[in-house]
Structure 1
Amino acid sequence: MTADDKAMRLAALNPGAREARIAFKQFHRFLNSRHLVPEQCYRPSHSTFQVVMWVNQITGMVLSRNYYPLPAFLERALRALNALESARPEAVSAPYRAVVRAYLGQVAYFLNTYDCFGPEAEAYRERIPPELSAMGPQIVPEAVSAQSGEF
């Protein structure tokens, strides 16, 4: 089976998945941009570091198409994001947090919509945080995508 044959077969199984992957590419352009992520967020002692770490883990899983760990990672990333926003909502990281929340929603939408888990799909989908599942398809927030710089 050629790569084109495989792509056609997957497209038939998951109509719309290609467009959803394009949305991922847009998010991935922003998620580690130096114009969006405050420099201090990469320091392990900073309160935002846990969010950055989980988002980067999720990004790696999405890029490698290893979807099985994602429900647990989504839960951990959302927990870290919610804790950060309730304890210390710094203005400097507000645009980053908005992109992260939308990205987590897009990942949840993708996992809930397309055949990512095979016969075990229901068990994996039950572990996705309901808050993220309810968001539906997401795009990079307009305020962020309109910023100039390296984007």
Structure 2
Amino acid sequence: MVGGRLIVEPRWNRPLNDVPPLIIRPRETVLLARNFAALLVWYEKALGFKIKARIDELPYATLESTGGVRIGIGSAPPEAAAIDGTVIPQIETDDVSRLLREVHIHGGSVDGPHREPDQGFDFGSFRDPEGNTWWVVDPNGP
């Protein structure tokens, strides 16, 4: 107390050992779609994602792959411009070539597969029909 008043020091001025650590947990990567329904169908058909939760009022859906990769798809506001490269989800698969082939068959654009000879892994990238970029790597990738 100073002059009869209780002085509380701001949290950011305290020693770090007095502050519990900030817990950050993984969540799904969110993609914003100009055509929400069509993009949901594309991820189901092209990559085998299953819808785990869907809220049509927002609209928003959470999807999960057979290997446990979770993504969210939301509706982009009409005034939102397409922005390239701000978030790039990366996934791992045993068969990069097969995954990229499925993407291509279902109308996505692909780059690869490529082989990194010095490190010994396969990789590539693709874009879904809305232009969202994904990186793909095999289990030997960094």
TM-score (norm 2): 0.29
Q: Which has the higher contact order (CA 8 A, sep 6+)?
A: 1
Of structures 1 and 2, the larger Rg is shown by 2
Q: In proportion to residue count, which structure has more strand?
A: 2
TM-score (norm 1): 0.28
Q: In proportion to residue count, which structure has more helix?
A: 1
